[in-house]
Structure 1
Amino acid sequence: MSNFKIFKDWLTQVSFLTDQDCSLFEPYLKTKTIKAKEHFLVEGKICRETGFLNQGCFRTYYLNEGKEINTRFIFEHEFVTDYDSFLQEKPSRYFIQALENTEIVSFNLKALQNAYNQSKNWERFGRIMAEQSYKMTTERVESFLFLDGEQRYLDLLNNQPHLLDRIPLYHIASYLGLERESLSRLRKKIVHQQRL
């Protein structure tokens, strides 16, 4: 299966985009491989492309007093980008780093705007992408406003259990706003409660 075919199949299965819509876009697509630990984006640079992840995973993080704070993990069939930086062509506050060897299909803003101009379906797709980005950001902010560390961990167990299979615990601790030792204690406590 070609690298572009994975992206095209996903687009036509999960959205209203037609084969014709995808054909409009295909000339602008590029395939890239990014090795584990390499960066897709660094703080202070403009995010010039959005990538559809064929395989592998990434993390998004920022630095706070020299400490890395994870904000998101990105897996197969998700988009890797700093959407705000990408759309507004402004410097990013984030780093995006590959945690595994990855393969992406990427496109730039000009390609997306060209697709918007040629097809109402692409415009609609762009709106849905923006809505999903807003929803993820809101859920993240509200989890820190309204839940404590234990509740955030339980929420992760219920809604994103796959993270525990592929992401090192110290990255998950940072994502949850916990110290690594606190997360270890919390995991033991929950396992103990489940046995009772």
Structure 2
Amino acid sequence: MRKFILYPGSYDYGITQIHRRLQAKNRKNTIFTTFTGMNASIKENLLEIFQIPEQRLNELLDITYVVTYNRNEVIGTANRIFDRLGYIVDGATRAYYVNEAGEEISYLLQVNGDFLGDYESYITGKKSDLIIETLLKTEVVFFEKAKIEQLISQDVFWLGFAKKISDLVFLDAKQRINDLLFYNPEQRYLNLLKKSPGIIQKIPQKYISSYLGITPQSLSRIRKRITG
């Protein structure tokens, strides 16, 4: 997958200010929940996506935690190692980078049932180039790399599970590449709607248009054509 690097240079000061702004935005009433406080529907969702026995899922959930974020909270900032992966139970996030002109370019839009995180940073231990921010109130189940590796060291079953996670993340990335290569903006927008129509309608238009690589005005025209 292509990586977007924040190059050092004349706009370093601006990037520093962006990081400070993001840190300030993150000082909100984020709610952390252990497995014992999870809604039963979360467990059902995870059983369906992971396709593992319930007993194994319980073992996994013992090392996971759920975070409920408010709208516009930052989950991960650039220039830090992303040492955990998240599964979105409810809500929406965007992953974006800042170009040399200081513009925010949305790279990924992720909704219910998607994994979030910079997987390249996760597997290599290198600093991430992406900023991940919630677009709505969002509930995320997190899996920390160190704890997954601890499970693997105790039981080979979890090695297969880790591969399954890698496969799911790869398929998500491949779908994004396919969208860019084989579909025009209107078709990509329709694909988003099919995935989670209720949530997509709530995401600000400027983020969707950035993700699609078009202007907000072009997105408005697409929406008008679709609705007739």
Question: Is TM-score (shorter-chain normalized) higher than 0.5?
Answer: yes
- 2:80 aligns with 45
Q: Read off the aligned partner of 1:52 and give its amino acid letter.
A: Y
Task: Provide the residue aligned with 2:6 in structure 1.
Answer: none
Give the structure 1 partner of residue 135 of structure 2.
Answer: 99
**Would the aligned equivalents of 1:6 and 1:54 in 2 still touch at CA under 8 Å?**
no
The residue number in structure 1 matching 2:205 is 169
Cα–Cα, structure 1 residues 8 and 148, in superposed 2: closer, same or farther, change >3 Å?
closer
Report the equivalent of 2:216.
180
Distance 2:107 2:180 in 1: 11
Match of 1:66 in 2: 102
Pair 1:11 & 2:46 matched: yes
Q: Quote how far apart the aligned CAs of 1:188 are.
A: 2.3
Q: Is the 8 A contact 1:37 1:97 kept in 2?
A: yes
The gaps in structure 1 that reach 5 residues or longer are none
2: CA distance, partners of 1:72 / 1:120: 33
Instruction: Point out the more displaced range, 81-90 or 67-76.
Output: 67-76
**Number of residue equivalences:** 192
Structure 1 156/22 Cα, relative in aligned 2: closer, same or farther at 3 Å?
closer
1:54 aligned to which of 86, 89, 92:
89
Q: Does structure 1 residue 86 correspond to structure 2 residue 119?
A: no
Quickly say closer, same or farther: Cα 1:99–1:85, change in 2 above 3 A.
same
> Is residue 50–residue 107 contact of structure 1 (8 Å, CA) maintained in 2?
yes
SS at 1:44's partner residue?
coil
Structure 1 contact 69–175 (Cα < 8 Å) conserved: yes
| Sequence identity percentage | 29
Cα deviations across residues 116-154 of structure 1 (Å, max 9, x unaligned)?
Answer: 233444322221221222222222223223333233334
In the alignment, what sits opposite 1:117?
A: 153
Q: Displacement of 1:73 after TM fit?
A: 2.5
Distance 1:175 1:168 in 2: 11
Deviations 1:28-55, CA, capped at 9 Å, x for gaps? 2233332221110011111122223333
Q: TM-score, normalised by structure 1?
A: 0.81
Do the aligned residues in 2 keep the contact of 1:42 with 1:94 (CA within 8 Å)? Answer: yes
Give the 3 Å change call, closer, same or farther, for CA 123–8 of structure 1 in structure 2.
farther
Does residue 24 (structure 1) correspond to residue 25 (structure 2)? The answer is no
Contact residue 3 and residue 54 of structure 1 kept, 8 A: no
CA root-mean-square deviation: 2.6
Equivalent residue runs for 1:149-160 within 5 Å: 149-160=185-196
Shift >6 Å, 4+ stretches: none
C-alpha separation between the residues in 2 aligned to 1:177 and 1:5?
A: 38
Structure 2: runs of 5+ lacking an equivalent: 1-35
Name the residue aligned to 2:69: 34
- Indicate the SS of the match to 1:140: helix
167 and 121 in structure 1: CA distance in 2 versus 1, 3 angstrom threshold: farther
Q: 1:162 to 1:119 in 2, by over 3 A?
A: farther
SS at match of 1:172: helix
